[in-house]
Amino acid sequence: MIRKYIFPAFVFLFFLFLLSPQAARTQAPTDSLQLDSSKVLPFKVGERLVFKLRYGFVKAGVAEMKVMSKKRDGDCEVLHIQSTARSVGAFDWFYKVRDIVNVYVDPQTLYPTHFEKLLREGGYIADTFVDYFRQDSLAKVTYIRYKKKNKIRKKEQYEVKIPGRVFDALSAFYVVRTLTLEPGEPVFITSLEKKKVYKIKIKVYPKEIIHVKAGTFRCIRIEPLMSGDGIFKHEGKLNIWLTDDQYKIPVQMTTKVIVGHITAELVKMEGVPQPIPAQIK
């Protein structure tokens, strides 16, 4: 059925790179990511980006990406970032989606300290929790799959050895927004998903003008390379357009799946600096 393909794609678009089983898994020779901890972040607490999710011309969902707050976690300060996706309209009637991803990161380096993915997709209910112990090169993961009425169907707890510079799917996206992106010069990010650590290659393309409901913007397009089985094969390209300025706000995302195209379009933004240098109108 169509719903088998649509909503995993929505989750893939908004939780990016690695959240679905058929994720962006391209081995890179080196990790070219170099974070400048003294650099001012291109986003701040209060930023809220709202996207309309379309399957073809039909609105099927809404997603949000939010920089929530700073808080104390023991002796450290952490930044809370959240992404959500939900179905709407007729799609909500036959396949309800209520997905939430939270990550808590170091405000200077964006290294995650805690990650949680709460998936509610039709009859599929599952939670994943990851705690990062960077000083021990270790991540501790808990995965819980539920039956109806929140009864546990399966529970796994395991540890994964991690390198010093590793991110989850959501923090990886915000890291990309801090980088200098030049057409023709790919960047690489190391990310943890389930029991493995992957190098993700991100291709950078020439600049374009993109029109969405939130406005018209000069953008730079990036493409995380994909491989694997299922609907997200290498030929099923995921493209993301970011504003061509210091803020690199995601404006549009598209991907091709077996049954058509999925598009995420920015419709509203709050808590972003004005005027946006890349916005034309």
Q: What are the extents of the domains in the chain?
A: 3-270
Q: Are 23 and 30 in contact (CB under 8 A)?
A: no
- Which of 37-41, 63-67, 195-199, 221-225 holds the top average pLDDT? 63-67
**pLDDT tens readout for residues 232-278:** 333 457 899 999 999 999 999 988 766 677 899 999 999 999 999 99
**pLDDT tens readout for residues 162-190:** 998 899 989 999 999 999 999 999 999 89
Q: What's the pLDDT score for residue 240?
A: 93
Mean pLDDT of the chain: 83
Q: Are 35 and 180 in contact (CB under 8 A)?
A: no
Residue type, 70: K
Record the pTM: 0.86
